[in-house]
């Protein structure tokens, strides 16, 4: 494929990702029984999973750790640590992360919050 064709495909893919991110964000905003913090965390998580491509349960724990490290400052600044913890507990209940993963993820957020 020519460089111009590849660039066009890449641009279309980026447009599609931006549209999907906005669509998902708007859909979350429609919920009345969900707090701003819960919505904000899920928007961050959903955008991350689209870019990181968590294709199976086996990748969730590692994905959580990467998410925590990459977004630690934003999680701390927006005071989303508690919501992130609740998200991790939901994943733990489903057997997707271990207690050690939860501790590791929270340590990444706490390190920048201190």
Tens of pLDDT, residues 56-107? 899 999 999 999 999 999 999 999 999 999 999 999 999 999 999 999 999 9
% of the chain residues with pLDDT over 90: 53
Which pLDDT score is estimated for 13? Answer: 65
Q: Token pair for residue 103?
A: 């501790």
Q: Give pTM, 2 decimals.
A: 0.77
Candidates 50, 51, 88; CA nearest to 68 is 88
Segment 18-52, tens digit of pLDDT: 666 665 556 555 556 678 888 889 889 988 988 88
Rounded to whole angstroms, the Cα distance separating 47 from 53 reads 10
């Amino acid at each position: 494929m020519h460089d111009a064709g590849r660039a066009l495909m890449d641009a279309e893919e980026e447009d599609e990702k931006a549209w999907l991110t906005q669509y998902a964000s708007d859909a979350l905003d429609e919920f009345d029984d969900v707090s701003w913090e819960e919505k904000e965390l899920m928007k961050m998580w959903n955008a991350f999973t689209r870019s990181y491509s968590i294709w199976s349960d086996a990748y969730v724990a590692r994905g959580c750790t990467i998410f925590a490290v990459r977004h630690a400052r934003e999680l701390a600044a927006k005071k989303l640590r508690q919501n992130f913890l609740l998200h991790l507990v939901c994943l733990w209940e489903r057997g997707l992360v271990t207690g050690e993963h939860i501790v590791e993820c929270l340590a990444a957020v706490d390190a920048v919050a201190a």
